[in-house]
Structure formats: C-alpha cells, structure tokens
Amino acid sequence: MIPGKEEVERMNRDECIRIFVADTGKTVEVDPCRLSDEEWEKRLSPMAFRVARQAGTEPPFTGEFHDLHKTGIYRCVCCGTDLFSSREKFDSGTGWPSFTSPVSDLNIWTRTDRRFGMIRTGVFCARCDAHLGHVFNDGPPPTRLRYCMNSASLSFSPVR
C-alpha cells in the first residue's frame, strides 16, 4: 500500500507521542517506533507482517483471539502499545475480535480506506502505524462502534 500524505507526515515526525498505559492508568511520552520493512519482516510472523505492515486481513474465524474470553489487555504485535481491554470485547459474530472502544483514543489513529470497492475506516497503532483492522458504526451501546481487529496485529497479556 502506498502511503498517503497523512502517513508520510506521521512517518517523518521525530517528536515523542503520548500514549495511555492501561496497567498504570497514566499517559506517557514515547518515541515513535519506526523500522524498515526488512526489520519488521524479521521480527514478525509472515501473517502478522502481511496484516500489520501491509494492511492485509486474516480470514474470519481463523485468528487466535476471535474466541478468547480471558481477562487482559490486547497490545500491538509490533510495538507493544496497549490497544484494547477485554472488558470492551464482545462477540460480533464476524469472526474477528471486536471491541466497543480502545483503551484510549491516544493509542490509535484512523484513516478512510477505499480499497476493494468499499469505504471503511482503517484503524492503526499510534506508535508504530501498524494496521489493526477497521471500525464500523454497527456495534452495541453505549458507543455503537465495532472495532473489528485482526488477531495477527495483536498480542494478549492476561491480567496478573
């Protein structure tokens, strides 16, 4: 996928970014996590690289977390940023892990995705720009949002 103007501006910025840390409940400043495709490919599984770094999608009902019911935090598979809490997870019936909200809007960013003849809103990690999935307006109350994420873009840390 060729980066647009917004992504190029994000990739070129050197300043620290603010993210929310779920374990402490605090906002911290961190450096952006920028690696070459070659470096990401060495660190990630082939599926995680295709999904997180190349904006792919895993097949429904195949991901590790679509049916996980443990308590914990879902983090970015690339950089470890806290993204979603199991408290906000619900069964959307779509075959992908779905959440009503992120742990903080600071930890994600979104962009219109017009690929494949559809108009969707892509969701990305704020620290490393990993593609996580899409957000839709058909979720349950109170947000009515469905953050439909790829398991391949996530890691899971159970509550200690």
Give the three-class secondary structure for 76.
strand
Q: Catalytic site residue 148?
A: yes
User: How far apart (Å, rounded) are the C-alpha atoms in residues 76 and 109?
Assistant: 13
Q: Are 74 and 154 in contact (CB under 8 A)?
A: yes
Residue 23: exposed, middle, or buried by beta-carbon count in 10 A (0-12, 13-18, 19+)? exposed
Q: Are 119 and 138 in contact (CB under 8 A)?
A: no
**Out of 33, 76, 78, 148, which one is annotated catalytic?**
148
- The catalytic site residues sit at 148
